Chains A and B, each alone.
Chain A
Amino acid sequence: MRNKLRVLRAERSWSQADLGAQLDVSRQAVNAIETGKYDPSLPLAFKIARLFELPIEEIFHDSNV
Chain B
Amino acid sequence: MTRMFDALAERSGPQRVAIAILLSVAGLFLLGLAAGVVAAMITKGHLPSRGWVVALPVVAAPLGALSLWTSWRLAAPPNSASGYEKRYWRMWMLVTALGIPVGAALAFSTRSDDLASLNPFGTEPIAAPIAILLAVLVTGFFSVAVALYHRTIDDHEERAYLWGSQLAYYFLVLALPAWWLLERGGIVGPVTTTAAFVAILISFLVQAIVWAWLKFR
CB of A26 within 8 A of CB of B84, answer yes
* Chain B residues near A28 (CB-CB < 8 A): 156-157, 215-216
Q: Which of A3-11, A34-42, A57-65 contacts B (4 or more CB under 8 A)?
A: A34-42
Contacts of A44 in B (CB 8 A): 154-155
Given contacts A28-B215, A28-B216, contact A41 B83 (CB under 8 A): no
Instruction: Give min CB distance, B4 to chain A, whole Å.
Output: 27
Contacts of B88 in A (CB 8 A): 26
Question: For window 9-39 of chain A, which residues contact chain B by CB distance below 8 Å?
Answer: 17, 20-21, 24-26, 28-29, 32-33, 37-38
A37 CB contacts on chain B under 8 angstroms: 217
Q: Are B84 and A24 in contact (CB under 8 A)?
A: yes
Given A17-B82, A37-B217, A24-B156 contact (CB < 8 Å): no
Q: How far is the CA of A28 from the CA of B25 in the complex (A)?
A: 27
Q: Which residues on B sit within 8 Å (CB–CB) of A32?
A: 156
The answer to whether B217 and A38 have CB atoms under 8 Å apart is no
Distance from B60 Cβ to chain A, minimum over Cβ atoms (Å): 38
With both chains docked as a complex, state the minimum distance between the C-beta of B154 and any C-beta of chain A, in angstroms: 4
A56 to chain B, nearest CB (A): 15
Pair A25/B83 contact, Cβ less than 8 Å:
no
Evaluate contact between B82 and A21: CB separation under 8 angstroms.
yes
Q: Is the CB of A20 within 8 A of B215?
A: no
- Give the distance in Å from the alpha carbon of A12 to the alpha carbon of B85 in the complex: 22
Q: How far is A13 from B82 in the complex, measured between Cα atoms in Å?
A: 17
B82 close to A29 (CB less than 8 A): no
Closest to B153 in A: A26
Given contacts A32-B156, A44-B154, 10 further A-B contacts (CB under 8 A): A17-B82, A24-B84, A25-B154, A25-B155, A26-B154, A26-B156, A26-B157, A28-B215, A29-B156, A37-B217
Q: Can you report 26 A-B residue pairs in the complex whose CB atoms are below 8 A from each other? A: A17-B82, A20-B84, A21-B82, A21-B83, A21-B84, A21-B85, A24-B82, A24-B154, A25-B84, A25-B154, A25-B155, A25-B156, A26-B85, A26-B88, A26-B156, A26-B157, A28-B156, A28-B215, A29-B156, A29-B157, A33-B156, A38-B156, A40-B155, A43-B155, A44-B154, A44-B155
Residues of chain A whose beta carbon lies under 8 Å from any beta carbon of chain B: 17, 20-21, 24-26, 28-29, 32-33, 37-38, 40-41, 43-44
Q: List the 6 shortest-distance A-B pairs measured between CB atoms, nearest first.
A: A21-B82, A29-B156, A25-B154, A41-B155, A24-B84, A29-B154
